Structure 1
Amino acid sequence: MSTQTTPQPGTRALVTGASSGIGAAMARELAALGVDLVLTARRRDALDEVAATCTGVKVEIVIADLGKPDTVPALWRAANTSGPIDILINNAGFGYFRRFDEVDWARDAELIQLNMTSLVALSRCFVDAHKNSSKPSHLMNIASTGAYQAVPNMALYAASKAFVRNFSEALHDEHRGTPLSVTCICPGGTETAFHAASGGGDYSWIANASTKSAGFVAHAAIRGMLRGQRTLVPGLFNKLSCFGVRFLTRRFASRVATQVLGKPRLALPARKGN
Structure 2
Amino acid sequence: MSTSATANLGKRALVTGASSGIGAAIARELATLGVDLVLTARRRDALDAVAASCKGVKVEIISADLGKADAAHALWDAATANGPIDILINNAGFGYFRRFDEVDWARDAELVQLNITSLVALARCFVDANTTRIDPAQLVNIASTGAYQSVPNMALYAASKAFVRNFSEALHDEHRGTPLSVTCICPGGTETAFHAASGGGDYSWIANASTKSAEFVAHATIRAMLRGKRTVVPGLFNKLTCFGVRFLSRRLASRVATHVLGKPRLALPVRGAT
Q: Secondary structure at the match of 1:5?
A: helix
User: Corresponding residue for 1:42?
Assistant: 42
User: Corresponding residue for 1:186?
Assistant: 186
Aligned-partner residue type, residue 107 of structure 1: R
Count of residue pairs the alignment pairs up: 272
Structure 2: where are the runs of 5+ without partners? none
Q: Deviations over 1:17-72 (max 9, x none)?
A: 00000000000000000000000000000000000000000000011100000111
User: Corresponding residue for 2:122?
Assistant: 122
Distance 1:58 1:10 in 2: 14
Moved more, 4-13 or 128-137: 4-13
User: Corresponding residue for 1:105?
Assistant: 105
Q: Deviations over 1:202-246 (max 9, x none)?
A: 100000000000000000111110110000000000000000000
RMSD: 1.2
Aligned-partner residue type, residue 56 of structure 1: G
CA contact (8 A) 2:68 2:114 kept: yes
Q: Deviations over 1:77-133 (max 9, x none)?
A: 111111100000000000000000000001000000000000000000000001111
User: Corresponding residue for 2:5?
Assistant: 5
Structure 1: where are the runs of 5+ without partners? none
User: Corresponding residue for 1:253?
Assistant: 253
CA contact (8 A) 2:65 2:71 kept: yes
Cα 1:147–1:199 change in 2 (3 A) is same
User: Corresponding residue for 1:199?
Assistant: 199
TM-score (norm 1): 0.98
CA contact (8 A) 2:10 2:86 kept: no
Q: Secondary structure at the match of 2:183?
A: strand
State the percentage of identical aligned residues. 83
Aligned-partner residue type, residue 124 of structure 1: R
Q: Secondary structure at the match of 1:177?
A: coil
Aligned-partner residue type, residue 249 of structure 1: S
Cα 1:36–1:207 change in 2 (3 A) is same
TM-score (norm 2): 0.98
Q: Secondary structure at the match of 2:182?
A: strand
Where has structure 1 moved over 4 Å in runs of 4 or more?
Answer: 7-10
**Cα offset, 1:135, TM superposition:** 1.3
